[in-house]
Amino acid sequence: EKTSHPENGMFSISDESGILKILSEFQDYLPPLKNGEYRKSAAEKLSKYACCILLRKDYVNVGFAAIYANDKETKTGFIPFIAVSEHFRKRNYGTLLLDTLIRIAKDNQMEVYKSNTNAQIFYLKNGYQYLTDGDNDSVFMIKKIDYSK
């Protein structure tokens, strides 16, 4: 489906309706988003507090990711969503999205839900290590980042 976004590239999305549209499109890859009320609430929260990015190729939405500072004091980054369309997997688009979020965050610690084992495996493959258990149902993962690059 063609949208107002150009053909290729990575784009920031900040308006709630645009984020809601993308969350709806990627709901099959992010199970909590199948609940319409949760999806609407997530779009509202992301539009206020997160940096959301959309990756496009040949007018097709390839992937979507978001990050925000979950704890303003420690500036721990939280990635609530990162998804790549099934047709574009195994082509490093997920890693491209993650690397972009890292550059945006300029931080090296992530909080991940314990139940999200796919995300933990993805982060481990991309150089993160377990740091400690977080509050509630989360773990902290850390990656050494060379800021001189």
pLDDT, tens only, 63-98? 999 988 766 666 667 788 899 999 999 999 999 998
pLDDT, tens only, 119-129? 888 888 888 88
Mean pLDDT score, 128-138 = 79
Band of pLDDT at residue 15, cut at 50, 70 and 90: very high
Give the pLDDT of residue 76: 66
β-strand partners of 129:
142
Task: Report whether pLDDT(1) > 80.
Answer: no
Task: Report whether pLDDT(3) > 60.
Answer: no
Question: DSSP letters along the chain, please?
Answer: ---SS-SSEEEEE-SHHHHHHHHHHTTTTSGGGGSHHHHHHHHHHHHHH-EEEEEEETTEEEEEEEEEEEETTTTEEEEEEEEE-GGGTTSSHHHHHHHHHHHHH---EEEEETT-HHHHHHHHHTT-EEEEE-STTEEEEE----TT-
This prediction's pTM: 0.69
Mean pLDDT score, 2-13 = 68
Alpha-carbon gap, residue 98 to 95, rounded angstroms: 5
Give the pLDDT of residue 14: 87
pLDDT, mean over the chain: 82
Give the pLDDT of residue 107: 52
Structure token pair of residue 20: 């809601």
